[in-house]
Amino acid sequence: MSSVKCGCELQNMTSLVRSAVVRSNAIWPFTLLNRLPYRLALWCIVRRSTKFSEIRSIYLRHGLTEANWQPGLSDIDLTVVIDGNLGPDKEYAFLTSFAAAYLKLKAWFPMLGEIDILNERCCTAWTRFSMRGYEVRNWRLLHGAHTVNSLHPGGQETLASDAFALALTVFEHFFLQRYHAGRSFSWVDRRSLVRIARKVLKYGQGPGMESGRLSTHLDASMRPEEVLWALLLHLDRRADELAPTQGKASDDVAQCENLDDETLEIEYRISTFSHLQRHRNEIDSVVLSYGRPFIILRSGLTRTSALNCLAALHDAFSDAAHCPLILTRRLFEYYVTRYLPQGYLELREHRHILFGKDYAHMLAPPSSLMVGTSLLAQAVNVMLRPWSLAVVDGRTPRTQFAREARNSLLLKLFLDFGIVDSYEVCMQMCQRHYPDLCAEIDLLAAQSAADEKDAREAQGKLAHSILRRIAVEVNAKLESWADEEAPGPQPKVAALTETGFAR
């Protein structure tokens, strides 16, 4: 009980200090003084890293590489590149030692944020895909040799698509998570929410486009639902620019007239969801798929009705384990046919319409080329997972690593055989082609949480071994494309999908 109390007091103290820092950023001499702890944190990271011979380089990325970063709101995001000649056991030993050192530093410097660890051998292939690979050119070397160069093919169309995909990722996994994180928003929380929203706008407008024009409409005085509504309107317009709407008329869409409170109560234990019945004129559809609810707003909403509905959604889901994905109809279509098209069949075959219109059956199926391109974009995650510090964190469920390993196998299956199909069919094909890997993944998923250190270490080593093997084999396949005459992977993907299949 005392430890919980101390943890709450420390959290409150951190929040107070953070608020004071943010409020004083514009006041001299704090404009400079507030940056000193960040410099000290970077110095400590570099100094501590010199003790690890496995580290080849450390890069600073994202916020602190830009001139307008804000102390108290910006985090220190790092990428560490390790020696590519280490064996699995030495890699795992390094991860264990480095994780312990990093967590100690993070206790003193809470601004330390995301840290990605890349194997040096995977750097070349890793930088060829998605906006994350393109942004390598903006990284700043802090320590060691220069080991990473962006090989992203570029091109305005590719960059626009990749940037919008990253905008949706930030919107889904950062903005909406923060939006539903608590019942109320402090002054600093609102500033942080606006900072994330501006990042969504930045990527949503695409590289090379002027980003300040829309960002100036967002400030900390806005209510959270106002920020969310501004983002939805912008993303909706941008989705229509990138992929104009195609499909049947909405009059042909089947409907479910009542919100299924019982299903939501069982799945999410949200006792307050029933009061959303009052907003049935603003909510077009509630669909349960991908293990979470999609809430699709009606078109043509007035600003007042939209804000009232979004505020009610925040109240309903603020305590939920899985926050809903709130989208316009156009964004929903883009999400399931272009952003994550590999889940299209899951939506068609396993959706549960809780309320409103069933749009899934009217969506034109994505092409195999679109699915293959989307799978390739996942290469950046596949080649980061084995060296994540979460692998050595005993608190992370083994089932999560098993799920990540199966998702990684989807990319490997596509690269090896050009197979594009539903998740269930792909898993059956994986059982046929990779029986040993699948058996190890099933073993990992079946293991219960371990309390003893030795048992946790054995589970961590198994997770690392599985994820590493998949990543190394995926990297080898992608590197074999390096000598292709084509400037990018699209022709190769097209060739693969001709031999694959899609329903």
Count the domains in the chain.
3
Q: Say yes or no: 113 and 240 in one domain.
A: no
Report the percentage of the chain scoring pLDDT > 70.
Answer: 82
Instruction: Specify the residue for token string 């940056």.
Output: 35
pLDDT of residue 335: 93
Closest CA to 293 of 178, 205, 176, 200: 176
- What is the pLDDT confidence band of residue 229, given thresholds at 50, 70 and 90? very high
Q: Say yes or no: 218 and 278 in one domain.
A: yes
Q: Say yes or no: 65 and 181 in one domain.
A: no
Q: Say yes or no: 306 and 431 in one domain.
A: no
- Please indicate whether residue 133 or residue 396 has the higher confidence score (pLDDT): 133
Q: Say yes or no: 192 and 269 in one domain.
A: yes
Token pair in block for residue 175: 């903005």
Token pair in block for residue 285: 């559809």
Q: What is the pLDDT of residues 101-112, one digit of tens each?
A: 999 999 999 999
Q: Say yes or no: 124 and 51 in one domain.
A: yes
Q: Say yes or no: 163 and 272 in one domain.
A: yes
> What CATH number is attached to the domain comprising 75?
3.30.460
Q: Say yes or no: 330 and 432 in one domain.
A: no
pLDDT of residue 4: 44
Look at residue 14 and tell me if it is in a domain: no
Look at residue 216 and tell me if it is in a domain: yes
Highest mean pLDDT among 129-133, 232-236, 393-397: 232-236
d(CA 477, CA 125): 9
Closest CA to 309 of 333, 275, 355: 275
The string of DSSP codes covering 343-391 is: GHHHHHHH-EEEEEE--GGGSPPPPHHHHHHHHHHTHHHHTTGGG-GGG
The count of C-alpha atoms lying within 13 angstroms of the C-alpha of 79, restricted to the half-sphere facing its C-beta, is 27
Identify the domain boundary among 122, 152, 182. 152
| pLDDT above 90 (res 376) | no
Q: Say yes or no: 432 and 322 in one domain.
A: no
Look at residue 84 and tell me if it is in a domain: yes
Q: Which domain holds residue 259?
A: 157-363
d(CA 382, CA 387): 10
Report the percentage of the chain scoring pLDDT > 90.
Answer: 41
pLDDT of residue 245: 59
Look at residue 116 and tell me if it is in a domain: yes
| pLDDT above 50 (res 351) | yes
Look at residue 62 and tell me if it is in a domain: yes
Q: Say yes or no: 216 and 356 in one domain.
A: yes
Q: Say yes or no: 85 and 124 in one domain.
A: yes
Instruction: Specify the residue for token string 């005993």.
Output: 394
| pLDDT above 60 (res 219) | yes
| Long-range pairs for 402-405: beta carbons < 8 A, 24 or more residues apart | 402/441, 402/442, 402/444, 402/445, 402/463, 403/445, 404/467, 405/437, 405/441, 405/444, 405/463, 405/466, 405/467, 405/470
pTM, entire model: 0.87
Residue 78: enclosing H or E segment and its boundaries? strand 76-82
Look at residue 181 and tell me if it is in a domain: yes
pLDDT of residue 145: 92
d(CA 170, CA 437): 32
Look at residue 28 and tell me if it is in a domain: no
Look at residue 409 and tell me if it is in a domain: yes
Q: In degrees rounded to 5, what are phi and psi of residue 330?
A: -65, -40
- Please indicate whether residue 42 or residue 267 has the higher confidence score (pLDDT): 42
Mean pLDDT across the chain: 82
Beta bridge partners of residue 80, listed in sequence order:
58, 117
> Cα dihedral sign for 148, 196, 323, 335?
negative
Q: Say yes or no: 340 and 380 in one domain.
A: no
